[in-house]
Amino acid sequence: MTTPKPEPLPGLARHRARRLRSKGLRNALYRAAGGRCAECGAPLPADWHADHVVPWCRTGRTNVHEMRATCPTCNLRKGSR
């Protein structure tokens, strides 16, 4: 049996569902990355991104085990690929 894809959320609610809200989880992601971008290896700036490895638009979920820490440049270059 296949799990159905969740219904899309409207506007702002959809955007908030994509975010990793817990500071503790963000800190754990940062520590797991050793403070470095998972894509280019540069030190992570203060405005680093919690990147979905499989794009959120394909899964509809935010799970820290499916995320990685990236610098804004690498994450924005990647887009929804």
> What tens digit of pLDDT does each residue of 58-80 get?
877 777 778 899 999 998 887 66
Rg of the chain taking only CA atoms, in angstroms? 13
pTM passes above 0.75: no
- Compute the distance between CA of residue 6 and CA of residue 24 in angstroms, rounded to an integer: 26
Whole domain around residue 47: which residue ranges? 17-78
9 has a pLDDT exceeding 70: no
Residue 63 is assigned to a structural domain of this protein: yes
Contact between residue 62 and residue 19 where contact means Cβ atoms under 8 Å apart: yes
* CATH number assigned to the domain comprising residue 68: 3.40.1800.10
Contact between residue 51 and residue 78 where contact means Cβ atoms under 8 Å apart: yes
Residue 5 is assigned to a structural domain of this protein: no
Domain count, the chain: 1
Q: What are phi and psi of 55, to 5 degrees?
A: -50, 140
